[in-house]
Homo-oligomer: A and B are copies of this chain.
Amino acid sequence: MLKNIAAVAVLATAFGTHAFAQEAKTIGVSIPAADHGWTAGVVYHAERVAEMIRAEHPGSTVIVKTSPDAASQANALQDLAVQGLDALVILPTDPDPLVNAIREIKDAGTFVTIVDRAPSQNDSSVRDLYVAGNNFALGQVAGDYIKATTPDAQVVVIRGMPIPIDEERQAGFDKAIEGSGVTVLDRQFGNWNRDDAFKVTQDFLTKFDKIDVIWCQDDDMAVGVLQAIEQAGRTDIQYVVAGAGSKDMIKKVMDGDKMIPVDVLYPPAMVGTAMELTAAAVFNNVPVHGTYVLDATLITKDNAANYYFPDSPF
Contact = CB atoms under 8 A, between A and B. Distances in A.
Nearest to A281: B273
A17 B307 CA distance: 24
Contacts of A291: 292-293, 295
A267 interface: yes
A265 interface: yes
Nearest to A3: B17
Contact of A15 (B55, B124, B265): B55
A9 interface: yes
Interface residues of A, number: 52
A280 interface: yes
Given A286-B272, A286-B273, A288-B273, A11 B20 contact: yes
B18 A55 contact: yes
Across the A-B interface, the 8 shortest Cβ-Cβ residue pairs: A19-B55, A290-B294, A272-B286, A276-B280, A11-B58, A56-B56, A289-B295, A292-B292
Interface of A: 1, 4-5, 7-9, 11-13, 15-21, 45, 49, 51-52, 54-58, 124, 134, 265, 267, 269-270, 272-273, 276-277, 280, 284-295, 297, 306-307, 309
